[in-house]
Chains A and B, each alone.
Chain A
Amino acid sequence: MPEGCALVTGSARGIGAASATALAGAGWPLAINYRSDAEGAEGVAKAIVEAGGQAAALQADVCDPDAVADLFKSVEERFGPVLVLVNNAGMRADGLAPQLGDDEWERVLDTNLSAAFRVTRRALKPMIRARFGRVINIASIVGPRANAGQANYAASKAGLIGFTKTVAVEVARRGVTVNAVAPGFVETQLTEDVSNGNGNGFVEAIPARRPGTPEEIASCVRFLASEEAAYVTGTTLTVDGGLSA
């Protein structure tokens, strides 16, 4: 593989942290990006280094274009070009559509979709030059499927899947692949309230009868980032224990 590194946005915990750890296991130097959880990000980086890999925790709010520019500068100085990008940073602000505020709509769309666009745009040119690149967008089965109370989240994730497909065809002839992973219900801090409270009965609806783990999503990310996945592009890998089958 060419010289370069992997950047996972929002990788202080959850699916991002597991993806970063899995990519480090595949030999990539890792840029662990976080917005506010410095302790979590440092912990992920430390574990990777202790396991013999290379990693650095780097603070940047991916919603801030200037911060994204600075993030890439510091990643490139440290590890060279970003050849694997995992757009994982995401958020929820739930409510039924008639009650969703403009701010809740905009924050979710900005974080889950627009930030992924800006980060991808910045990453693509060096990937195109390197004739190698892997962009992996963490989407959701919410988007392709309905989930009452998450109109903003669903719109952002459906948008991310549409974005994935079109960018994939734009850059495919340069050895750059762009794919999405669509997790179902995964136990992380993002879904904590769902699993502890109003999610009772939810697990019974999953054919696998259990939530997924961040590591199960990360292993799919690791595959999509590999040389073996060179011909997989523009697709969405659903990882949901059969929920949307």
Chain B
Amino acid sequence: MPAQATTESVEQVIIDGLTELGAEGEVARDSTFEQLDVDSLDLVELAQIIEDEFGVELQGEDVKDLTNVGQVIDLVVARSQ
């Protein structure tokens, strides 16, 4: 069963996921993907981590305009409601 998607749990999964994917420096809510050196394939993989964890499916259209970590967290929390 997918985990309950609270803001805190989503934030933790996304930060852990980006760290696992080799993000540069500390991952914070306001970090941009550019600062973290996170590329488009990393975001595909992050989407899979999120889907496995919370059952929320993110497609290309959903993520193409996102630029920072906080935006992903907010989107996943909103989608899981």
Residues of A within 8 A of B (CB): 125-126, 128-129, 170-171, 173-174
Contacts and interface: CB of A to CB of B under 8 A. Distances in A.
Nearest to A125: B48
B24 interface: no
B48 A129 contact: yes
B44 A125 contact: yes
A173 B48 contact: no
Contact of A171 (B41, B48, B49, B51): B41
B45 interface: yes
Nearest to B39: A173
Interface in B44-71: 44-45, 47-49, 51
A29 B48 CA distance: 24
A170 B45 contact: no
18 contacts: A125-B44, A125-B45, A125-B47, A125-B48, A125-B51, A126-B48, A128-B41, A128-B44, A128-B45, A128-B48, A129-B45, A129-B48, A129-B49, A170-B41, A171-B41, A173-B41, A174-B41, A174-B45
Nearest to B52: A129
**Interface residue SS majority, chain B:** helix
A173 B48 CA distance: 17
Contacts of A171: 41
Interface of B: 41, 44-45, 47-49, 51
Contacts of A173: 41
Contacts of B44: 125, 128
A228 B21 CA distance: 26
A170 B41 CA distance: 8
Contacts of A128: 41, 44-45, 48
A128 B51 CA distance: 14
Given A125-B47, A125-B51, A129-B48, 15 more contacts: A125-B44, A125-B45, A125-B48, A126-B48, A128-B41, A128-B44, A128-B45, A128-B48, A129-B45, A129-B49, A170-B41, A171-B41, A173-B41, A174-B41, A174-B45
Pick from A126, A128, A171, A173 the residue with the most CB of B within 10 Å: A128
A85 to B, nearest CB: 16
A125 B44 CA distance: 8
Contacts of A125: 44-45, 47-48, 51
A125 B60 CA distance: 13
A81 to B, nearest CB: 11
Contacts of B49: 129
Nearest to A128: B45
Per CB-CB distance, the 6 closest pairs between chain A and chain B, nearest first, are A125-B48, A128-B45, A129-B48, A129-B45, A128-B44, A170-B41
Nearest to B45: A128
Contacts of B41: 128, 170-171, 173-174
